[in-house]
């Protein structure tokens, strides 16, 4: 036993080893974190361009009702009377009766907006609490404009370290993204968001709310462009790296 206040050689070596080990661990960890300059929390999102609306989102989520729900990007929507995301392919009549609806829970809400030269336009909104994320409407809508898409809702997702849906996703569409990025939208939606944003800014004049909305739309689009570009960069680099090794 070492005397009080003094350490023997063995104790000194052990202390040195421990301290240097601790510093090495922390240093290596700090390097790992600092290398990519990422300290934000990460959240799950799916890439709607890859999504095939297979229905796994509804069944594989650890929550009783999936955290994945349908979103309608109104600026891509055609406001069609015969909505392929709303009506069964063999509907009886163009009304809101349950047997005509594609949605098993009646979560798509159809509301008349306007009639122009004999054409009737309807707005389709998603009732969040009712939606179970089965993707039936998404599949239907994909026949036309594809404005409806599935997405992980942050306020419901419990952010599992390994997302059960991501594991089951046949299209490998799930990504971890920094929480401040908030979302992944369709590639085609980026331009749509930008146009809408610019339009809002043009119309804004003195209306601060419109201006704010327009600016936030442009910011959202910019973040999306960044992410797509970075993702493409990663994919290219990975293939560039791996191709010679694989061949």
Q: Which is nearer to another protein, 93 or 244 (CB)?
A: 244
Residue 8 makes CB contacts below 8 A (sequence gap 6+) with 2
Phi, psi values for residue 176, rounded to 5°: -90, 125
In the bound complex, what is the minimum distance in angstroms from residue 183's beta carbon to another protein? 4
Q: Which is nearer to another protein, 93 or 116 (CB)?
A: 116
> In angstroms, what is the minimal distance from the CB of 168 to another protein?
9
Q: Distance between CA atoms of 193 and 146, rounded to whole angstroms?
A: 15
Task: Write the DSSP symbol of residue 87.
Answer: B
Instruction: Count other C-beta atoms under 10 Å from residue 164's C-beta.
Output: 15
Q: Looking at beta carbons only, is 154 or 211 nearer to another protein?
A: 154
Min dist CB 140 to another protein, Å, is 9
Residue 120: its H or E element: strand 119-126
Could you give the 3-state DSSP secondary structure of residue 145?
A: coil
Q: How far apart are CA 239 and CA 246, in angstroms?
A: 10
Nearest distance in Å: CB 247, another protein: 7
Minimum CB distance to another protein smaller for 92 or for 234 = 234
**Least distance CB 36 / another protein (angstroms):** 4
Q: Give the residue with the Cβ less far from another protein, 97 or 238.
A: 238
SS3 of 45, please?
A: strand
């Amino acid at each position: 036993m070492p005397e009080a206040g003094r350490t023997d050689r063995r104790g000194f070596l052990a202390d040195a080893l421990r301290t240097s080990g601790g510093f090495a661990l922390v240093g290596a960890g700090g390097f790992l974190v600092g290398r990519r300059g990422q300290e934000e929390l990460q959240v799950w999102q799916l890439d709607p361009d890859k999504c095939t609306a297979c229905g796994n989102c509804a069944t594989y989520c650890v929550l009783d009702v999936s955290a994945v729900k349908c979103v309608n990007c109104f600026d891509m929507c055609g406001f069609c009377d015969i909505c392929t995301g709303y009506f069964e392919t063999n509907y009886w009549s163009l009304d809101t009766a349950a047997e005509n609806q594609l949605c098993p829970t009646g979560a798509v809400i159809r509301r008349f907006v306007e009639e122009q030269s004999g054409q009737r336009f309807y707005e389709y909104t998603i009732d969040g609490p009712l939606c179970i994320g089965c993707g039936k409407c998404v599949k239907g809508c994909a026949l036309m404009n594809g404005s409806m898409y599935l997405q992980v809702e942050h306020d419901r997702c419990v952010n599992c370290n390994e997302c059960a849906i991501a594991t089951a996703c046949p299209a490998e569409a799930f990504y971890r993204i920094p929480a401040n990025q908030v979302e992944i939208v369709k590639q085609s939606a980026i331009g749509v968001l930008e146009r809408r944003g610019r339009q809002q800014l043009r119309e804004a004049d003195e209306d601060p709310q419109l201006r704010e909305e327009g600016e936030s739309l442009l910011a959202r689009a910019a973040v999306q462009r960044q992410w797509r570009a970075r993702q493409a960069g990663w994919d290219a680099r990975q293939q560039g790296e791996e191709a010679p090794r694989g061949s």
